[in-house]
Each structure stands twice: as C-alpha cells, then as structure tokens.
Structure 1
Amino acid sequence: MEPSLHESKILITRGAKQAKALSDKVIALGGIPIEVPLLRISCKEEAENSQILHNLHRYKWIFFTSSNGVDCFIQLMEKYHLENLQDIKFAAVGHKTEQALKDYGYVPSFIPSIYNADVMAAEFLKDFKDEGPVLLIRGNRSRDVLPTEFSKHELSFDVLEVYETSFNYDAKDQLNELLKKNEIDFITFTSPSTVEAFVEMAEVIPEKHYVCIGTTTEQRALEFGFKSLITPQEFTTDSMLQAISNYINRKEG
C-alpha cells in the first residue's frame, strides 16, 4: 500500500532551512505541513581552533554527524582557502549527511548500519580501532557519545565545533496559538534539541502523537514524560512519514 497521510496536519519543528524539504514530502504524501521552526542553526564564522583546519592532513578520518556539520565545515574550509582533503576518509552518520558530503564532491567511506552516534562509535571501533587520529565535526549541542567512546578505547581524536544550535523564541507565540486551536494531528521531533525547544516554549504539552526520528530523540522525549511516541526503525524523515502513514492505516483498518 502506498503511504498516505490522509490530510493529517503535521507540525514540523526543525530549523527553517531544513523544514521546507520535510514539508514538501508531507505534501507529496497528502498531508498538510505546518512549519514552526523551534531551532536556529548558525555556522561559526571563525574556527575556535584554526590550527586544526591548517593541519587537516594529519587526520585519517573526519566524522560528520549532521548535514549542518558538513555545510558549516565546508564554509570554514572556503573561508580559510583550504582544499586538500583527498587523503582523508569521511564518516557520515546517515544518508542525509552522506548526501550533503556528496553535494560537495566527497564520498564517505563509513556509514553505520543504524543512524545514531552510539552505533556509529561501536561499529567504527570494531572495524577501524587503530585508524586515528580522527577529527569530530560538531555543533554546540552535540552529544558526547563519540568523544566518550573514542577516549575509552584510546583512539586519538580532536573536536572542531563549527555550528551553533539555539532555540528560536520568535516562534513561541505561533507554537502556542497552534496548540490552543488543537488542530494538529502529529508533532515531529527530528533531534533531541527539537524536543527540548518544544518543552521550553510550549505552555501546555498536549496529548498528541509525537513522531521521533530515532531512538536518541525518542529517549529525550521519554525523559520529559511524552507517552504517545511513534519512532521508525530506520532513522530518516522518509521513514518518519511512513510510520505516520502506517499508524493511520492501522487506526482506520
């Protein structure tokens, strides 16, 4: 059965730059997207440790755990007029991050079987435990799974923070007006940060169906007491929408 959202109203809480792509998918599946970007993503204009950028040749691997990291890293590369990456291997947390790398002409050599940092660390250390040093490209709210696991296994690594995620408080009134109308069918969370921003800004947490992109986001939602959670087996936005469609079909069946 072809997936269909049956004109369900889907609240999209991710940053504005990424929201449109998800909205287009919702429309294509017969749903009604409502964008309320609760996050702001901003690339850092200067590298806190430019020495790392000027010594990229010493790293065997560069790790990316988001497409934001890819975009902002490349911006810094261009700012510092750096180009020599041909001898470095890339790791991407999932297909979206992989595609972001390919858009710039780079192909990752490693992608975990499940798209989260826990599996990424475990599978990389199993197959490449002696292949350091590694450079971790991160944002200010990135989890510490990779640094913790790499330290535990004595794999040499450095960290470069290239973007910042902050709450978009300008969207607070819009969010609460929508929640008061009680017309939303599903609320999507595409990262733990979207969960945190929603809890921070929502005056009332409604009893709705909350759709999490993966188990890490799901766990953060559970920590805040969310109960009606839908989480796909594959951690992508396409799978999120498929999971919503499956839920609707089961309910109507």
Structure 2
Amino acid sequence: MGKIVFTREHPLEKDWTNALNTLGLDIVHAPLIHCTANDMPKMILNNLHKADWVFFTSAVAAECFAPYMRDLNVRIATIGHKTTQSVEDLGYTVDFESVSQYGVDFVGEWLTLGLSHQTVLLPQSSLSNPIIAQTLKDNGHTALAWAMYDTKPNKKGQSMIDALCKEKDVIWTFASPSAWESLIQVREQLPKHHQVAVIGTTTQQAVMNSHQIVDFMPDTPAIDNMIETIIQNRERGE
C-alpha cells in the first residue's frame, strides 16, 4: 500500500480519507507548519470599530480573529468557499466571497464592487504577501493589516520526514510554500521516485526553486481540487 502525506496543520476530512484508501493509499498526517495566534496590536485594537470590512484569507485567520468579532459591525469578505465555510461555522455571515483563491485576484474582485473609501481589517499570517493591503491603499482604501498569527515549522512533522523518505510509493502534498520550506530545513530534496502535489502556483514555484519536480497541481487552487487531481491521475495509473 502506498502512502499520501498531508503536511498542512489540519488533518484530512474523512470523506477524502476513504476515497484515497480505496485507491490503495494510506493517509499520513505529518504537519510541517504550526500556527499560533499573536496578541492584538494596540493600534489595531483602537481602530477596530472604525472598520467597514474584515478580509479573511484563511480559516486560521478567521479562527484567531473570532473573539474580536462579537462586538463589531463589519461586513466580511473571504477568499474562496473553504474560508467561507470556516467563517460560517463560527456563526457569521459572509458578504463577499471571491471566485479566485489568489490574493491579488481576491482584492481585484472585491474592488469591482466600486465602493467609495472603506476601512478594511486584514488579519493575516506573519508570512503573508503584502499585496492585498498595498492594492487596497493604491485604490483609495484604508488597510489595517497585521500578523494575527505566526506560521512556524512543526517539529512533529519534521521528525517524520526521514522515515517517510525510506518508503517506496509516497505522494507528498503541500498547501503552502511554508510547508515546503519546513521540509527542506530537514532534507534538501525528496527521493526521485516520490511524487509531489501542490495546491497552486505559489507553492509550485517554491518547490521548483529547490529543483524538485511537481507531479500534481489542480487548475484551481483548493485542497479538494488538489486531492481530486491526485485521484484522477492515480485512477489512470499515472
């Protein structure tokens, strides 16, 4: 039986586990990153009630910011349906959901609403690209962006890498550049007979920068799409 390694912090949903098991793949959860919430900066705390919108670009951001949502009267924008689902699970209504999973497209879609000056809260990872905040500012809006949480290497997952590299049939999945960067802190490259799946082009570039081949990538970046791509290729014997 082959193995498929999921390196994100959250374990895989049961429905996907069953589908992959049926294809002869054993699920391994080797989390290579760990997210921890930061204290809210005083400047942000003092300006929370001035905000018109809050942008959530990940489920982690929504979960970390949730305690501050109770007293706010803001509209919510999310990047893709998975983040929307996380926000709704917390009990809040999403007012705008982007079609694209990429930050630059997300803010571009929101700008098509044609709103006059808005103040936007942007809780994000310490590793986030500043493109969303900068684009908002360039288009006349106020962006209050800060590191809501830190993304760090996960030693638990890193400790599993060497043993997994001794296995013959392994597919590694990466949902962020930071997960790949955590892996190469331990091992420069994966065995040539192992396969790599990535969620989208940003993660693909990080992997390719290490001279590693990417075998699977969905047309649209999402965990579900990445898994579906793997399943389709596996069924074809690729």
Instruction: Calculate the TM-score normalised by the size of structure 2.
Output: 0.88
What is the alpha-carbon distance in structure 1 between the residues aligned to residue 52 and residue 202 of structure 2?
A: 28
1:160 aligns with 2:146: yes
Identity value in percent? 27
Correspondence 1:66 to 2:58: yes
Matched, 1:48 2:41: yes
1:205 aligns to what? 190
Residue 18 (structure 2) pairs with residue 27 (structure 1): yes
SS at match of 1:228: coil
Match of 1:234 among 212, 220, 230: 220
Contact 1:150/1:156 (8 A) holds in 2: yes
Q: Distance in 1 between matches of 2:70 and 2:214?
A: 47
Relative to its length, the structure with more helix (as a share) is 1
Q: Deviations over 1:188-221 (max 9, x none)?
A: 0011111211222225422232111122222222
CA distance in 2, matches of 1:233, 1:172: 29
**Contact residue 14 and residue 39 of structure 1 kept, 8 A:** yes
Shift of 1:158: 0.8
Superposed counterparts of 1:125-140, under 5 Å: 125-128=111-114, 130-140=116-126
Is 1:193 matched up with 2:187? no
SS at match of 2:16: helix
CA RMSD for the aligned pairs? 2.1
1:222 and 2:208 are equivalent in the alignment: yes
Superposition deviation, residue 119 in structure 1 = 0.9
Task: Show the counterpart of 1:3.
Answer: none
Alignment of 1:115-126 (within 5 A): 115-126=101-112
CA contact (8 A) 2:189 2:210 kept: no
Q: Secondary structure at the match of 2:133?
A: helix
**Residues 204 and 214 in structure 2, CA contact (< 8 A), matched pair in contact too:** no
| Structure-1 residue corresponding to 2:4 | 10
Structure 1 residue runs without a partner (length 5+): 1-6
Letter in 2 for 1:83: R
Structure-2 change in CA distance of 1:206 and 1:174 (3 Å): same
Shift of 1:83: 2.1
Structure 1 residue aligned with 2:129: 143
Name the CA shift for 1:131/1:152 in 2 (closer, same or farther; >3 Å): closer
Paired residue secondary structure (2:173): strand
Residue in 2 that maps onto 1:97: 83
Cα distance in 1 for residues equivalent to 2:200 and 2:116: 29
SS of the equivalent of 2:96 reads coil
1:113 to 99, 110, 114: 99
Determine if contact 1:218/1:229 at 8 Å carries over to the other structure.
no
**Per-residue deviation at 1:187?**
0.7
Q: Which amino acid aligns with 2:183?
A: F
Cα contact 1:137–1:159 (8 A) shared by 2: yes
User: What letter matches 2:71 in structure 1?
Assistant: N
Residue 32 of structure 2 corresponds to: 38
- The answer on whether the counterparts of 2:125 and 2:151 sit within 8 Å (CA) in structure 1 is yes
In the TM superposition, residue 20 of structure 1 has moved relative to its aligned partner by 4.1
Q: Whole-Å Cα distance in 2 between the matches of residues 240 and 221 of structure 1? A: 15
Distance 2:15 2:163 in 1: 23
Q: Distance in 1 between matches of 2:210 and 2:111?
A: 32
Deviation at 1:128, TM superposition (A): 3.6
For 1:55 and 1:117, how far apart are their aligned partners in 2? 24
